[in-house]
Amino acid sequence: MIGGNRGRADLGADFRRDPRFNSKKIRFLMDGRELDVVDISATGISVRHAPGWVVAGQGLYFDLLVPVRNGMKKVEATGKVLRRQGTDIVVKYYSPHPDWRRLITQFLASR
């Protein structure tokens, strides 16, 4: 069948600017709560169990907790909620460091 709907739900994954990585080691800290990261890239993050007050289109301040040799490094970040489905959210976030794309991609690829 030509021009069918096959794969429509996955189209976003095919056109992402940055590769996404699963990372159980990186944590998302917001409003005093650590949330589970489903996947992360240099510009986007998918998170589980977001509080009910978080809605699509909303701006967020949050921290990424990234494992380092001596524990966890808190990286402050801001972003915008692109969508919410149940308790899961997808956030587009802004680079918290001038060299973030290289740093996070290397870190995640090495895991």
Any idea what the CATH number is for the domain that residue 81 is in?
2.40.10.220
In a domain, 3, yes or no: no
In a domain, 8, yes or no: no
Closest CA to 75 of 87, 93, 88: 93
Q: What is the pTM (predicted TM-score) of this model? A: 0.78
In a domain, 7, yes or no: no
- 6-64 per-position pLDDT tens digit: 333 333 444 457 778 887 889 999 999 999 999 998 899 999 999 999 999 999 999 99
Phi, psi values for residue 69, rounded to 5°? -50, -45
CA 79 to chain centre: 10
- Domain enclosing residue 80, as ranges: 17-109
In a domain, 62, yes or no: yes
Q: Where are the beta strands (DSSP E) in 1-111?
A: 27-30, 33-40, 44-48, 59-68, 71-85, 88-93
Distance in angstroms (rounded) separating the CA atoms of residues 38 and 28: 10
